[in-house]
Amino acid sequence: MIRFSHVSKEYAKTGPALQDVSFQLGKGEFAFLTGPSGAGKSTILKLLYLEERPSRGEIRVAGLTASSIRGNGVAALRRRLGIVFQDFRLLEDRTAEQNVAFALEVTGARPETIGPKVSRLLTQVGLSSKSNALPRELSGGEQQRVAIARALANDPVVLLADEPTGNLDERATRGVFQLLRDINAAGTAVLMATHDLDLVRRANLRTLEVNRGQLVFDTADGGEGRAGEGA
């Protein structure tokens, strides 16, 4: 699903952010991405959804070579991904329902399919009763559920989540995390960057740890050291 091969990234302004990072995430797999602030977690996710381009190395996502995609290939790749952020990124002047429908409308879904699909997605994230609420009328956890429903709109094969529970209290965190687990159980690979070490420890799932731009730990390797290509 995801393969980083010797990927490095240097930002023009701040210099190296990732150095020679290699790892793989299989189909339907779940992995945490952890590490201190500024380690490069968000950068790894940005490279996956083509917000940024690698300086060196090759990235494959969902069957496409992300590092060499141009033009409308970017849009095509993003339709195979779901992306969720700490700050939800909902449109404030639209209801939960409209926010989810938006993702379908702008990717050219057939109009008559949108309504049923939106209500199915909102049911899936447990928000069918609040479909007409505006974001400001929803709690943080509920807003994140709307964002997740939107991320699922185009039936992604990979869900990328950048600190999806960063703004949530513990209860909401557990709810959203469980939702991501359910989504993963249904076959979608999930890569989730997080600071929440408690959550990581309790979950006992594969964890990739980055520090200063390097992959320093991968539980799939069974311990310390850099993740090899065959991981």
Partner 1 sequence: MRLAFREALDAFRRAPVLSALSITTIAFSLFAFGLFGLVALNIRNALQQVEDRVEIRAFVIDGTGAEAVSAALGDIGAFPEVATVRYVSQFDALARARRELGEFSDVFEEGILPASIEVRLKPGLRDPATVRGISRRIETYDFIDDVRFGEEWVEKLYRLRNIATIAGIALGTVFAIVAVIIIGSTIRMAVLARAREISIMRLVGATDGFIRAPFLIEGFLKGTLGGILALGLAWVTTAILGRFVIVTEFFSPGLALTGILAGALIGLLGSAFSVGRHLSRA
Q: Which of 23, 32, 49, 217 binds partner 1 (CB under 8 A)?
A: 49
Rule CB under 8 A: say whether 3 interacts with partner 1: no
Q: Which two tokens stand for residue 82?
A: 């779901």
Nearer to Mg ion, 39 or 59 (CB): 39
Per-residue binding string, partner 1, 145-184, x by CB under 8 A, is -----xx-xx------------------------------
Q: Does 197 bind partner 1 (CB under 8 A)?
A: no
DSSP classification of residue 79: T
Question: Shortest approach of Mg ion to residue 71 CB, angstroms?
Answer: 27
What is residue 15's three-state secondary structure? strand
Q: Which does 98 bind (CB under 5 to 8 A by kind): Mg ion, partner 1, ligand ATP, none?
A: none
Q: Which of 19, 42, 165, 184 binds ligand ATP (CB under 6 A)?
A: 42
Q: What is the β-pairing status of strands 206-211 and 30-34?
A: parallel
What is the distance between the alpha carbons of residues 11 and 18, in angstroms, rounded to a whole number?
9
Among ligand ATP, Mg ion, partner 1, none, what binds residue 106 when CB lies within 5 to 8 Å by partner kind? partner 1
* Residue 78 contact partner, candidates partner 1, ligand ATP, Mg ion, none, CB within 5 to 8 A by sort of partner: partner 1
Minimum distance, C-beta of residue 207 to ligand ATP, in the bound complex (Å): 14
Using the minimum distance from each CB to Mg ion, give the nearer residue, 127 or 151. 151
Q: Which residues of 156-187 are buried (b: 16+ CB within 10 A; e: fewer)?
A: bbbbbbbbbbbbbeeebbebbbebbeebbeee
Under rule CB under 6 A, residue 39 binds ligand ATP: yes
Q: Which of 71/223 has CB closer to partner 1?
A: 71
Q: Is 57 in the site for ligand ATP (CB under 6 A)?
A: no
Q: CA 97 to CA 114: how far, in whole Å?
A: 10
Provide the 3-class DSSP secondary structure of residue 198: helix
Alpha carbon distance, N-terminus to C-terminus of the chain:
13
CA distance 224 to 138: 42
Sign of the four-CA dihedral 84, 89, 91, 95: positive
- Distant-in-sequence, close-in-space partners of 167: CB < 8 Å, separation ≥ 6: 86, 87, 88, 140, 144
Residues that bind partner 1 (CB under 8 A): 49, 71-72, 75-79, 81, 83, 89, 91, 102-103, 105-108, 111, 150-151, 153-154
Report the interface residues with ligand ATP, using CB under 6 A: 11, 13-14, 17, 35, 37-43
